[in-house]
Amino acid sequence: MPITTHQPEPGITVVTVDAPPVNALSVQGWFDLAAAVTSAGADPETHVVVLRAEGRGFNAGVDIKEIQRDKGYSALIGANQGCAAAFSAVYDCAVPVIASVQGFCLGGGVGLVGNADIVVASEDATFGLPEVDRGALGAATHLSRLVPQHLMRALYYTAGTIDAKQLHHHGSVFAVVPREDLDETALGVARQIAAKDTRVIRAAKQALNGIDVQPVHRSYRYEQGFTFELNLAGVSDAARQDFLDSKGA
């Protein structure tokens, strides 16, 4: 199963993504992730959620091969809706979500992390949006929650990456640790939250979302509209195929 859930300690639910080789999720995978996070937050025994991944990297975005195999637009629409559902599930989760990030965090991975409450990362973690190289747009909404506006634009236009230490400097990553310490670091932060009165923490999550200056749901869906335009114009299909050909996929 690409998405699994377990409770290693009282009050802490861990949701793990494990979709080899690079944790690029299928349409169903994104919806499964959304359901897992939502279900965890709805459980009164859960005080905090840790979102983590197995493998080389945290998340490589959508499964481009699935989209390319589809002769129509069903897979593209599904991927867009699935990503929106998963990002929203993290943001709207009734309890805080800690993103525990290792290796690469690209595309949809940035969407998840940008909507998380707290981010911890390994020293080798890098973050970026390769969307413009794939003929798509999206998750600038979430990257802008991690870096200042002008840096976000530079990273977006160039499809560049930024590492965990740089994000720690900007205050969006809470802790940067060796990879072997990542899981324990995330659990350490989770324990501090889980020890609080969950009624207060759940109210705090609602309050913080309520005063957020970024309308994350609407702004992300607005971005996706331009992705549909690029697909209808034939730009995206060619860009995706060029990427797959370059990888010998």
Q: What is the pTM of this model?
A: 0.95
Closest of 52, 96, 121 to residue 192, by C-alpha: 96
- 9-18, 76-85, 226-235: segment of lowest average pLDDT: 226-235
pLDDT in tens, 28-63: 999 999 999 999 999 999 999 999 999 999 999 999
Closest of 147, 193, 149, 191 to residue 170, by C-alpha: 147
Stretch 175-181: mean pLDDT? 98
Q: Which residues contact 208 (CB under 8 A, 6 or more apart)?
A: 117
Inside any domain, residue 50:
yes
Inside any domain, residue 187:
no
CA distance 180 to 177: 8
pLDDT at position 72 is 86
pLDDT in tens, 201-229: 999 999 999 999 999 999 999 999 999 89
pLDDT at position 67 is 87
Identify whether the C-beta of residue 37 lies closer than 8 Å to the C-beta of residue 99.
Answer: no
Residue 247 has pLDDT above 80, yes or no: no
Tell me if the bond preceding 96 is cis, omega within 30° of 0. Answer: no
Closest of 130, 27, 89 to residue 217, by C-alpha: 89
pLDDT at position 75 is 93
- 103-117, 153-167, 225-239: segment of lowest average pLDDT: 225-239
Inside any domain, residue 242:
yes
Residue found by looking up tokens 């990879």 in the block: 179
19: domain CATH number is: 3.90.226.10
Element spanning 215, H or E: none
pLDDT at position 249 is 64
Stretch 17-23: mean pLDDT? 97
CA distance 87 to 2: 17
Inside any domain, residue 220:
yes
Inside any domain, residue 188:
no
Buried b (16+ CB within 10 A) or exposed e, 22-48: bbbbbbebbbbbbebbbbbbeeeebbb
pLDDT at position 170 is 97
pLDDT in tens, 54-105: 999 999 999 988 988 888 889 999 999 999 999 999 999 999 999 999 999 9
User: DSSP H helical segments within the chain, as ranges?
Assistant: 27-42, 64-69, 74-92, 108-115, 140-143, 149-158, 164-170, 182-194, 198-210, 216-232, 235-246
| Domain span including residue 57 | 3-181+198-246
Domains of the chain: total: 1
Closest of 115, 114, 94, 108 to residue 40, by C-alpha: 94
